[in-house]
Amino acid sequence: MNKQKVLLVDDEQDILDLIGFNLEKEGFEVFTANNGRDGLELARKNNPDLVLLDVMMPGMDGMETCRELRDDDNLKNVLIAFLTARNEDYSQIAGFDAGADDYIAKPIKPRVLVSRVKALLRRNSGAEIEVKEAPSHGIVIDKERYVVFKEGVQLNLPKKEFELLALLTSAPGRVFTRETILANVWGNDVIVGDRTIDVHIRKLREKLGDDNFKTVKGVGYKFEP
């Protein structure tokens, strides 16, 4: 697997060095820029998986940079996280709708930041759920809002149901073994009985329609529109 690319944009060289060093140590490929314009250029050239943007920068600030990124067809879906300084005028950072995926408050301990970065990338690499385009089956999953739409009707699913659904729909038609389901939704160190899965499947069937969830006896379950 290729290294994942992170673009880091901040006007303080210290920050670039510190965070950059720590991210590289963790196996990321890191690009740095100390202003929005250079950041944009680097982003266009290298197609990063994640952009960490300082909000407050001279010249083009983080929000402006974010907007420009979102305007670029090749980059509009890149992950963007804002670095926000809490001691700075907080008023400037909120209320914008530039399309950030996360906020990360400074100051932050390097290892905390690294784990946030990993979490962000994991969220997006694992189960790739389309939010924008409504798939043909009429079920849309919005992970950001933790909300599911069934033919336009909004449903609020509990966490486990939501995650199970997200898993199954991440590869429609594919059979997920009970083992796989347990590992992904419950985690490897949690021990629950097999019936637990059944019950959650049933709830999904109840809420989203029986026909969408097929049982493959002795193997597992699959989502099929």
Task: Give me the least distance between CB of 155 and a second copy, in Å please.
Answer: 13
Out of DNA, a second copy, none, which partner does residue 173 contact, by CB within 5 to 8 A per kind? a second copy
**Tokens linked to 186:** 């419950």
Question: Of 33-41, 46-54, 121-129, 140-148, which segment contacts a second copy by CB under 8 A?
Answer: 140-148
Map residues 97-136 to x or -, x wherever contact with DNA holds by CB under 7 A. Answer: ----------------------------------------
**Tokens linked to 195:** 């019936």
Tokens 């499947």 found at = 201
152 lies in the site for DNA, by CB under 7 A: no
* Calpha distance 140→12 (Å, rounded): 41
Residues 169-188 that bind DNA (CB under 7 A): 178, 186
Helix (H, G, I), strand (E, B) or coil at 116: helix
β-partners of residue 176 are 221
Which residues make up the interface to a second copy (CB under 8 A)? 56, 58-59, 61, 64, 84, 86, 89-97, 100, 102-105, 107-109, 111-112, 115, 141, 143-147, 156, 158-159, 163, 166-167, 169-171, 173-175, 180, 183-184, 187-189, 216-219, 222
